[in-house]
Chains A and B, each alone.
Chain A
Amino acid sequence: MNWAYFFFGKLSWSVFPQNAIAWGGAIFMILCGIAIVLALTYFGRWRWFWRDWLTSLDPKKIGVMYIAVASVMLVRGGADMLLLRAQQATSVGDSFGIVSPTHFQELFSAHGSIMIFFVAMGIMFGLINLIVPLQIGARDVAFPFLNSMSFWLFCAGALLINCSLLLGDFSTAGWLAYPPLSELAYSPTVGVDYWIWGLQIAGIGSLLSGVNFFTTIVKMRTKGMTWNRLPVFCWSVMGSMFLVVFAFPVLTVTLALLYFDRTLAMHFFTAGGGGNMMMYVNLIWAWGHPEVYILVLPAFGVFSEVVPVFSGKKLAGYTSMVWAIWAIVGLSFLVWLHHFFTMGSGADVNAFFGIMTAVIAVPTGVKIFNWLFTMYRGKIRFTSPMLWFVGFVVLFTLGGVAGVVLAEPPADYQLHNSLFLVAHFHTMIVSGVLFGFFAGYTYWFPKIFGFTLDEKWGIRAFWSWFLGFILAFGPLYLLGFEGATRRLDHYAANLGWQPLFIVAGIGAGLIAVGFAFQVAQLVASVRRRHENRDASGDPWNGRTLEWSTVSPPPSYNFAALPVVHARDQFWAQKQSDMQHTRRFEDFEMPKHSAAGVLIGFFSFVLGFGMVWHIWWMVILGLLSAAITVLIRTFDDDTEIRVSASEIVHHEAGLHRIASATV
């Protein structure tokens, strides 16, 4: 028996990073961790941090934590981006730039994986947690504990991915790790295993969240909230969660099969022994294409809330908007092959998937027309959420055109895997998803924290992001036509690409400045929180239920559950002078629970063991997680009952209601 292998698996002293940049990243991450620990100790807030945040089952707390973790990961993915851009701007002709080819490949693999799984998904689940229960007039989600567990699985995945900075290396096979490059023959180190387990653990968290929020919207709507009155943000979340439930199991299986190939000498995706790499490419995109819509639908939902409120008008074409969401949901499962038209499928197969892809442009176009008609005859306040919307329409329309071009198979033969493609999907994800989430963040921030964000910094951040985006990705569209493929760590000087890469680098820098402005905005807003305090709970003249409760909302959201009589219920309520009598009732709230944190931690242990082949850790992690789940399952005492008289007393004490209403 080899005891060193038994205890430490593939770990050895040589697993520490070999270059200064990875060391820098690892040390920075560790220092950040130490700073948080010291700050909590110094201010004596450990108990508060543990009870009120880490173990909280309140979706508003979990939502804030999602966005905080996603912001940290945005810094990581953004640092990767700056290094990628610096390399491509300098590595030309005789110069080989600042990082080695292998390090460059780790950077783009990490950038893509982190930005999709831990930034975009993180902010999305953050916003959903914050807003969906409030908007449907619920006190909580359907499965509060499951929600906490999903979040901690997400954190475990994020931590595992970042471990690769300090121990071992990361995948060099791109964000979707096509075999055979990602197989053991070509990627013998632990990099791809980090990728597999980081995504696997976070992905299971996402799947459970999908189940949770789909159920929440179906089952937890307040009295009178019929389907026809459901806010469009909730409709879009429902579409997105439907996709999560059907797409993420495909990812789970695909990643597991790849791990079997790598670890158990199986050959699902190797070229030999009956395996087929094309099966992997089909499977990963059967998840990957719906994933794009999983991210963009909630962002569409945000715009469907922001545009009516800041235009002072109801949303145009509500029914069309809802049908468009479900048309996109259905079609998104019928287009995956457009990611590999160049694989040599027959002409009719390619044409079918090309047409289905172009068809998605119809519901998307209808949505854009309806947002524009919402502005028609409105009274538009160009606050920063509205600016993000305008920036979105400008960029997303062009990105959509690029998408329709790529949907024509013969055009795709020329532009596939070129920088044109890279520019296209960044346009869709940055202007579609990120701009949408930024709009939502600014719009809903006062609801969650009780004070508005600083507009001056918000507008500066918007312009930096918007102009930075044009500078960073305009040249990439052109470079695609010039024959530049993606993921090049070096190119010949006579191709004449360098000036465009330098412009793109400047654009990336401007985007980083935009992010710095967002940090400045948060700092400035917190410092001036007393000036910017919103006592009304409704700073924007909102239309939906979340604005009808106080800001920040109490843990139970509503003292008395609202009853809905109209679409845009809160708006209708403000229009009529009718006094609504509120009926207070007893209700139950979940107790806080440490089980989510523990399961997240044990999953991390499991993942770490899987990556390094430390099998006792795998067994320990799996057993501990399973036992924690069992203990939690048999715990009957998970809720606190709050009586109607208590709540009335409490609310009256805060002067939120007159005590006479009892």
Chain B
Amino acid sequence: MYVRSANIPVLEPAGPIALAEKNVIIATLLLCALVVVPVYSMLLVFSWRYRADNPVAHAEHHPTWDHYNWIAELVWWFIPACIIAVLGVIAWQSSNALDPYKQLRSDTPAITIDVVALDWKWLFIYPEQGIASVNLVEFPVDTPVHLYLTADAPMNSFWVPQLAGQIMVMPGMTTQLNLAASRTGDFNGSSANISGAGFSGMAFTARSVSGAEFQQWVASVQASSTPLTAEVYATIATPSEYNAVTYYAPISSGLFGSVVDKYMIPATGPASTADASSSDAMHMTP
């Protein structure tokens, strides 16, 4: 009963990518059953039939039984190999079909969102709409969403299980994730890679709404927010835990690129903090 009432996001996809990934999981489980069922059956039957206190075991006991010739050996290698061959085909095709970098085909043009993982919150920047938000990402239903992700923090992993599998989010690097929602609703997202003390509080909401609602939301954020300048960004990037949703508009252009680029130059960013504090450590007094 508990299982029926619980929310099982991986098995309750709300978008084409998550649905296809769920199908890969189910197909693999079914193919594996072809091995599990005989293994369990043999274990059960052999354990029962050939237990030492069963007269049958004494009658049939054959201490040197090893009906192995090279054909029998090949058969036992061949059967699992066939199943694995099928799984290999699935792996190849599904890896290509569900490559997170591959843009979704749709008549609706895609919306681009830049994602920055911070200590310990998510910043979503909408370059086309000129807005940004923390811990809430909203987008229209049935529309391809193209995410570009980086971190201004340790390594994180971006995960909204009802929409798509994870992609890692790393400082100085940009990864991509393409997804879409096939129905409206709020979907739980989180970071799936340990990134420090406030990591557990990195939950966010992915909200799929109708096209009209999305336009309204964009307009309301544009109207009522603080601008996302370099100074405001620095405040947001300061470590903090369990952050509430906040909105920013307008945004200073090129912010996402500068977050990625600052790790390319040794003179700035946390990389340089490391250099400075390590040389401090050499002279640290007890």
**From A2, A174, A400, A404, residue with most partner B Cβ within 10 Å:** A404
Residues of A within 8 A of B264 (CB): 272
**From B11, B175, B273, residue with most partner A Cβ within 10 Å:** B273
Residues of B within 8 A of A366 (CB): 76-77, 80
Partner of A271, one of B32, B157, B171: B171
Residues of A within 8 A of B9 (CB): 481-483
Task: Give the complex CA separation of A377 and B192 in angstroms.
Answer: 49
- Shortest CB-to-CB span from B205 to chain A, Å, is 11
Asked if A40 is an interface residue, CB under 8 A from chain B, the answer is: no
Binds B, one of A233-241, A492-500, A598-606: A492-500
Asked if A10 is an interface residue, CB under 8 A from chain B, the answer is: yes
Residues of A within 8 A of B64 (CB): 313-314
Q: A265-B278, A380-B57, A408-B28 are in contact. Are A342 and B165 (CB under 8 A)?
A: yes
Q: Is there contact, CB below 8 Å, between A342 and B50?
A: no
Asked if A44 is an interface residue, CB under 8 A from chain B, the answer is: no
Q: Is there contact, CB below 8 Å, between A417 and B176?
A: no
Q: Is there contact, CB below 8 Å, between B95 and A348?
A: yes
* Residues 394-411 (chain A) with a chain B CB within 8 angstroms: 394, 397-398, 400-401, 404-405, 407-411
Task: Give the complex CA separation of A263 and B280 in angstroms.
Answer: 10
Closest to A378 in B: B50
Q: A346-B99, A380-B51, A481-B8 are in contact. Are A362 and B77 (CB under 8 A)?
A: yes
Q: Is there contact, CB below 8 Å, between B281 and A317?
A: no
* Residues 59-99 (chain B) with a chain A CB within 8 angstroms: 60-66, 68, 73, 76-77, 80-81, 84, 87-88, 90-92, 94-99
Binds A, one of B34-42, B135-143, B215-223: B34-42
Residues of A within 8 A of B212 (CB): none
Task: Give the complex CA separation of A181 and B20 in angstroms.
Answer: 33
Residues of A within 8 A of B11 (CB): 481
Q: Is there contact, CB below 8 Å, between A379 and B50?
A: yes
Task: Give the complex CA separation of A377 and B64 in angstroms.
Answer: 9
Residues of A within 8 A of B192 (CB): 416-418, 485-486
Closest to A317 in B: B68
Task: Give the complex CA separation of A480 and B11 in angstroms.
Answer: 10
Partner of A2, one of B92, B275, B283: B283
Residues of A within 8 A of B193 (CB): 178, 417
> Taking beta carbons and an 8 Å cutoff, which residues of A are in contact with B?
2, 4-5, 8-12, 101-102, 105, 172-174, 178-181, 183-186, 188, 261-265, 267, 270-273, 275, 277-278, 311-320, 340, 342-344, 346-348, 350-351, 354-355, 358-359, 361-362, 365-366, 368-370, 372-373, 375-382, 390, 393-394, 397-398, 400-401, 404-405, 407-418, 478, 480-483, 485-492, 495-496, 499, 613
Query: Could you pull out 28 A-B pairs where Cβ atoms are within 8 angstroms?
Result: A5-B285, A9-B286, A102-B197, A178-B155, A272-B269, A278-B173, A314-B65, A342-B168, A343-B168, A343-B175, A347-B95, A369-B42, A372-B46, A373-B66, A375-B50, A376-B65, A379-B52, A394-B40, A408-B25, A408-B87, A408-B90, A409-B94, A410-B20, A415-B25, A481-B8, A495-B7, A496-B5, A499-B2
Closest 5 CB pairs of A and B: A413-B165, A272-B271, A271-B172, A273-B266, A12-B286
